Every structure is written in C-alpha cells, then in structure tokens.
Amino acid sequence: MADVIEVGAARGDAPPPAASAARRRASAGRGGRLTPYLFLAPYLVLFTVFGALPIVLGVWLSLHQWDFQLPNRPFVGLDNYKELFSSDSAVYGDWWQSVRATAIFTVLSVPLLVVVPLGLAVLLNRSFPGRTFFRAVYFAPYVLGVAVIGLLWRFLLDANLGLVNRLLGVVGLPADTPWVTDVPWAWISLVGVTVWWTSGFNAVIYLAGLQDIPQELYEAAKVDGATAWERFRHVTLPGLRPVLLFVMTTTILASANVFGQSFLITQGAPGTETRTVVWFIVEEGLRDNDAGRAAAMSIVFALMLAVVSLANFRLFRYRED
C-alpha cells in the first residue's frame, strides 16, 4: 500500500481519501489543542502585566529600603517584615492599630452587608406593584463613587452643620452627636454609610441566586405545611449556599480593604482610631516615601486576608458536607 501511495505521489495523483482524512484530523488536532490557549491569551497577558508582575515587584521592594528620594536603595532582607512584629520598632504600634481598626470595621460591617441585602432580595423577589422601581432605588447608591459618598456624608454628619443632627433635634433627640469625631459614633457612621452604599450590589447578587431556585420546591414545602420561616430555612438558604459563599468572601475582602470612607468621612478620627491598614500603607509609601516597608505591609496584609478567605471556604464546605 505504501508503494502505491509513493508511486501515486510521484505521478502527481491525489492521495487516497483515507490518507487525506488522517492528515486533516492531525491538523485539526493540533489546531484544537492551541484553540484554548488562544482564547486564554488576552487574560493571561493582562494577568501577567497587572497581576503577576506587580506581585513580584512588591516582593522585591519589600526586601529593600526603597526611598524614592534616595539614589541608593539597599537590600535589607526581611528587616521590613521584622519591624511589623517587633514591639520596639517605630511602626509597630501604628501598624497594629491600623490592623485593629480594620478588624473592627470588618467585624461590624460584614454581618450587616450579608444579612440586610439578603432580606431586601427576598422582599424584592416577590411580585408587587413598583418592584422594579424599588430595585433601582436600592441599587442606585452603589453607582456613586466613594469620593461622592464620602464628601456627601461628611457634610451630612457634621456635628455642628450636618443635616442629621438637625433632624434629630427636630424630633427631640440629642442634636450634638459627634458622628465623625468620637467613638463609637465614628464606627457607627462608617458602618452605616457603607451598608447604605453597598447593600444594593449584594442584593442584586442574591436576587440572581433566588431566580435559580426552582419554584416547585417552595410549592412542595407549602403542600407539606411548611411555614414561611421553614421555607426560607430549608429551601432558600440551601439554594443560596454558593451565592452566600461568594457574597461573604467578597464582602470580607472589600470591608478589609476600606479606605475612602475612613479617609473622607472620619479622616481617621478620633486620633488614628479609624485609620485602616490600606490608609496606613498609603501613608508609608507615598507620604513617608518608604515603599519597601509599605510593600512588606501589603504582603503581610494579603496573607492575613488569604487565611481568612480559606477559613471562610472551609467553613462553608464543612456545612455543605
């Protein structure tokens, strides 16, 4: 057979159909193996440029005393990391104070940002007149930028000129509450503004998850005599478990990375009580020109958030099992 193919090829005859089909399949196989990488190429390029390279550069900076105003940037190894855990260093107290502030804000805001949007989503998932309007109203604040939100509420919460205290005075409540200059009022302000601002986004995510729960499950539960709470507990929550995991993880990360609200509304007051980790890192890197120490703080903080995220995933997986 091989001799026939060679003779045919020598005479210029077309190869047998079986041989042509085999070559086409081989060519298609090679092209098929490359196709996924061609689709992944844009993402891989963006991830490399804006993800992997900044991480590598950040690690490199953290190992140096990197002052933008100095010509030499000596290698200091792990000294920048040791300063964060050494009680006699210059940044130890401020660093852990910012970690504490971030933890307080996260612990106070995350439960509200998980539960309140869920309640809104359950209500907005029902059929009633004006449902679309209310969905838009609850989502509208999220469209505004943090600068707009911060400046707006800084004015509204001002102890002397703010509209909030004026309204409280009208109804007979204390009209001199220091919403942005004293604790716990500063934390109440930051958490309240953040919940008002971002609840709409989580509510939309919950609404998308509620649409995927079969209505037959609710009807079957009603037939079995389940109450509204029992239907929510045994049908809605299990059906939303993947969505709950996504919402909780993203909310924890977003709350831990808070910066704009604290910077614009409370301005860290009282003192540095509400100065968060991201704010402190920005000050170290841009105000004090110590990019190496700021990079070390960023990496340590990222590792902290990674541990929290892994614990969150493990908790939800345990519940599912």
Q: Which residues pair with 64 in a beta bridge?
A: 75
Percent of the chain with pLDDT over 70: 88
The pTM assigned to this predicted structure is 0.84
Residue 59 has pLDDT above 50, yes or no: yes
Residue 313 has pLDDT above 90, yes or no: no
Categorize the per-residue pLDDT at 37 as very low, low, confident or very high, splitting at 50, 70 and 90.
confident
The tokens describing 155, both together, are 């004015």
Q: Do 163 and 156 meet the contact criterion of CB atoms below 8 Å apart?
A: yes
| Whole-number pLDDT of residue 72 | 84
| Whole-number pLDDT of residue 299 | 95
Tell me the pLDDT tens digit for each residue of 95-135. Answer: 999 999 999 999 999 999 999 999 999 999 988 888 889 99
How many CB atoms are located within 10 Å of the residue 125 CB? 17
Q: What is the DSSP string of 262-315?
A: IIIIITT-STTTT--HHHHHHIIIIIS--HHHHHHHHHHHHHHHHHHHHHHHHH
| Whole-number pLDDT of residue 128 | 86
Categorize the per-residue pLDDT at 5 as very low, low, confident or very high, splitting at 50, 70 and 90.
very low
Rounded to whole angstroms, the Cα distance separating 258 from 193 reads: 12
Rounded to whole angstroms, the Cα distance separating 170 from 163 reads: 11
Q: How far is CA 253 from the centre of its chain?
A: 4
| Whole-number pLDDT of residue 251 | 96
Q: Do 16 and 3 meet the contact criterion of CB atoms below 8 Å apart?
A: no
Provide the angle, in degrees to the nearest 10, between the axes of the packed helices 241-256 and 291-320: 160
Q: Do 114 and 248 meet the contact criterion of CB atoms below 8 Å apart?
A: yes
Categorize the per-residue pLDDT at 26 as very low, low, confident or very high, splitting at 50, 70 and 90.
low
Categorize the per-residue pLDDT at 34 as very low, low, confident or very high, splitting at 50, 70 and 90.
confident
Query: 167: helix, coil or strand?
Result: helix
| Whole-number pLDDT of residue 23 | 61
| Whole-number pLDDT of residue 66 | 87
